[in-house]
Chain A
Amino acid sequence: MKRTVTGAIVLAATLAMVAGCTSDKSSKASNAKDTTVLSTDGAGKTIKVWLQSDAQKGWPDVVAQASQRFEQATGAKVDVQWQQWSNYTTKLDSTFAGSSGVPDVVELGNTQTASYIAAGAFLDLTSAKGQFENSGSWLQGLAESGTSPAGKLMAVPYYAGSRVVIYRKDLWTKAGVTSPPTTLDELFADLDKVKAANAADPRFSAFYMAGKNWYAAMSFVYGAGGKIAEQNNGQWSGALESSQAQQGLDRWKQLATKYSVGGATKDESDQDAVMALGHTGAILGNGWELGAVTDKKTGNPALAAKLDTFPMPGTATGQYTPSFLGGSDLAVPAKAPNAGLGAQWVKYFTDTTSQTALAKFAIPNTTSLLGVYSGQAQANKSTGEAAKNTWFVPNTPNWANVESGNILQNMLTSIATGKAGTADAAKAADAEIAKTLNATG
């Protein structure tokens, strides 16, 4: 059993390489069809769409209506296959290296697109840009992540998200905090009160912060004026050991150690479930995580009336701590068997109708619909505010390897567990970041 697992991995890697050698033809063939990228000739065909399970949990109806309209227009069927973010790039790598089983549409995180665009993994959609609705008003950050350095459109913006503080209004009020904090110092003072009011519960987190939550930690780094890495004369160097960055890391450490219990060696993926257990005063999450916390199956519906949101305050009143501009793009793989139909599905899924429906749950891909989004709920108002001040990862093809190598997560968890001081951990991470970003092979 144990032996076969290792064997299977070795085998998969090997087969991936073998297949990579034989599949040149198909990508050239699909590149040649650039002039007529979108296709409606779908009778008897089935397209395969890889979407992340965020949509399955958050907005399955939006997916269904787009597929329905697509099926009516083309006669093709849609097979949506739900994916998980964890180790997703590994799956994409082995799929794109092969020649069969390639999906017709893939969803990608906006931090992952650069490496695949550089690797020529996607179909060039530039000539069809005008056919995608709202392409003139796409959210800038998302549009940039889907565009190649040469300005070609390789991936279409899907949705964005920004993170806000989701908190238990009832617990905060009971602790004597009646209005959301407007500065970070106020936030920490409020958390002291909430913590003191619940001192009898050893499992209580005034603010639950997972020890590997790099999206949150880097927000504080950027908020303190630091950054993850910088490029000089073509060479990248890590910037986490700068004094500003360390100041931000120390702020985060305070949240992760002083106010948070039990999450030092975990990532943020189960923070909604943790909050649903009732021993948590606040988390930093995407707007739609409200729904996950109060979900009937995976969460606790009784909390629905007790949750509220506010944008993470900054160092001074009126400022916000920059939020990570997370988001997703949709791309058509260069080797997709039904590339034209895949692009057509993307068109339906990102048009005004779909995005208006999506705006209930996430930030839509176009500025023209931001009003629809903010008008939906208090949480959306907060995330809409938070989306005004955002940060993004260093834009280089090698960034994906920093993520898959868990460099930031390892640094943070060693800070949160006290295994290393902030300065030492940041220095070690900087060295690894530089090595990874400057790698050539």
Chain B
Amino acid sequence: MTATVPGAPTPALDPAARGRRGRRGRRVRGGPLPYLLILPAVLVLLVVVAQPLFKIVQLSLHKQEAGKYALFHSGAGTPFVGLANFRTVLGDSTFWTVLGRTAAFTAINVVLSMLIGIGIAVLLNRVSTWARLTLIAVLLFVWAIPTTVSTQVFYWLFNNQFGAVNYLLDRLPGVHLQGHDWFADPHQGLAVIAAVVIWGAVPLLAISLHAGIGQIPKEILESARCDGAGAWQAFRHVTLPFLAPLLVILTTLSVIWDFGVFNQIWFMRTGHPEPGYQTIGIYMYSTGVGSSHYNTGATIGVLMMLGLLGVMISYIRQLLRIGDAA
């Protein structure tokens, strides 16, 4: 954010001066080589991103009239209906309930995972080498576990009859959780799911932030301490400003990931998420694919993309800004 941090004390690299000398500029812009080099990537992106994106927008503007028949044969009977699908989806109160739930679920996951991530990152910088290596190894193990597996493990942990969580909590004085069903109330169920999501998200956040903290010049922290700053003040006024660009990027990425959480909910509810568990990704899938209403599903998908576009723009701007600074 504050561009005063890393590259600032090098005024010699004024971009205008650099451009005039043209040493780098000519090599990058001249000749077709750069375009040839980027061509394969562009082609792949066209096939796997642009084409489906185009199809999904197209789907959202058409209506499938003859049910599955049209799907299995030629696709006849799918006239252009303009924004009618959007009106239907936006006019359905379920969509807004689902959207609100998704926003709250995302916010809680992002805030908690960022806080825990920062906490572990700070911890990593303060413990002895062997403790740090052990912690990082454990975090990498967590990162390596597929969501399908971690979800199943949490599902067992929270099993109402034989789960370890109920067993342990029940041992506490005054707590009676034997046989408690965590999934009867969607709020509790989503809290369990949030635990899996956060558990899976923390390693990347913690390790990235740990690396970020490692980049802060020791002298600055030392001089802050010499000037009488306490641990909190040093963190607040030195560490945080240095980490700010990284924090923005990680938060943006977390928003994008947590907004689209699918596996954890899907597997925690064994493929039948109840209405109270429907976040936007699940809603899109069960409406679009599960119930064969592909046009409605595509419409929800387009709306979801538009919603995330704002987040992505801030992400890309931040990336560009860092690129400028470096």
Report which A residues bind B (CB closer than 8 A): 1-3, 5-6, 9-18, 20-21, 23-24, 27, 86-87, 90, 93-94, 96-97, 115-116, 118-121, 202-203, 212, 261-262, 264-267, 269, 277, 279, 334-335, 397, 401, 404-406, 409-410, 413-414, 417, 419, 436, 440-441
Does the CB pair B262–A17 fall under 8 Å?
no
Tell me if B63 and A441 are in contact (CB < 8 A).
yes
A-B contact pairs, 30 of them (CB 8 A): A2-B261, A5-B263, A9-B262, A9-B284, A11-B52, A14-B55, A16-B294, A18-B55, A20-B74, A27-B72, A90-B289, A93-B289, A93-B292, A96-B71, A97-B72, A115-B67, A115-B68, A118-B69, A120-B69, A262-B161, A262-B179, A265-B183, A267-B270, A279-B161, A404-B290, A406-B272, A410-B274, A410-B275, A417-B185, A441-B293
Q: Which residues of A contact B64 (CB under 8 A)?
A: 441
Task: Please tell me if the beta carbons of A203 and B179 are within 8 angstroms of each other in the complex.
Answer: yes
Once the chains bind, are A3 and B65 in contact (CB under 8 Å)?
A: no
* Given A13-B294, A401-B291: A264 and B184 interface contact (C-beta under 8 Å): yes
Q: Is the CB of B275 within 8 A of A3?
A: no
Known: A2-B261, A405-B291, A413-B274. A17 touches B71 (CB 8 A): yes
Partner of B301, one of A5, A10, A414: A10
Q: Which residue of A lies closest to B65 (CB)?
A: A441
Q: In the bound complex, how far is the Cα of B179 from the Cα of A261, in angstroms?
A: 8
Considering the complex, give the chain A residue whose CB is closest to the CB of B292. Answer: A93
- Chain B nearest CB, measured from A337 CB (Å): 16
In the assembled complex, which residues on chain A have CB atoms less than 8 Å from the CB atom of B70? 20
Picked from A11, A13, A401, the residue with its CB within 8 Å of the CB of B297 is: A13
A90's partner among B65, B161, B290, B301 (CB-CB below 8 A) is B290
Determine the residue in chain B with the shortest Cβ distance to A274: B161
Q: Which of A266, A279, A404, A436 contacts B270 (CB 8 A)?
A: A266
Nearest opposing residue in chain B for A5, CB measure: B262
Give the distance to chain B from A289, nearest Cβ to Cβ, in Å: 18
Closest to A2 in B: B257
B268-292 interface code vs A (CB 8 A; 1 in, 0 out): 0011101100000100111011111
Chain B residues in contact with chain A, CB under 8 A?
Answer: 48, 52, 55-56, 59, 63-65, 67-75, 147, 160-162, 178-179, 181, 183-185, 256-258, 260-263, 270-272, 274-275, 281, 284-286, 288-295, 297-298, 301
Q: Contact: A119 with B291, CB < 8 Å?
A: no
Inter-subunit contact B68/A116 (CB<8 Å): yes
**How far apart sit A413 and B273, CA to CA, in the bound complex (Å)?**
11
A24 shortest CB reach to chain B, Å: 4
Inter-chain contact B289/A13, CB cutoff 8 Å: yes
Are A261 and B161 within 8 A (Cβ)? yes
A323 CA / B1 CA spacing, docked (Å): 67
Contact of B59 among A14, A397, A409 (CB under 8 A): A14
A14 CB contacts on chain B under 8 angstroms: 52, 55-56, 59, 298
Q: Report Cα–Cα, A16/B160, bound state, in Å.
A: 39
Cα(A295)–Cα(B271), bound, Å:
25
In whole angstroms, how far apart are the Cα atoms of A119 and B263 in the complex? 30
Cβ–Cβ < 8 Å partners of B294 in chain A:
13, 16-17
- Identify the 10 closest CB pairs spanning chains A and B, nearest first: A119-B68, A417-B184, A262-B161, A265-B183, A21-B75, A24-B74, A6-B260, A14-B55, A14-B52, A119-B69
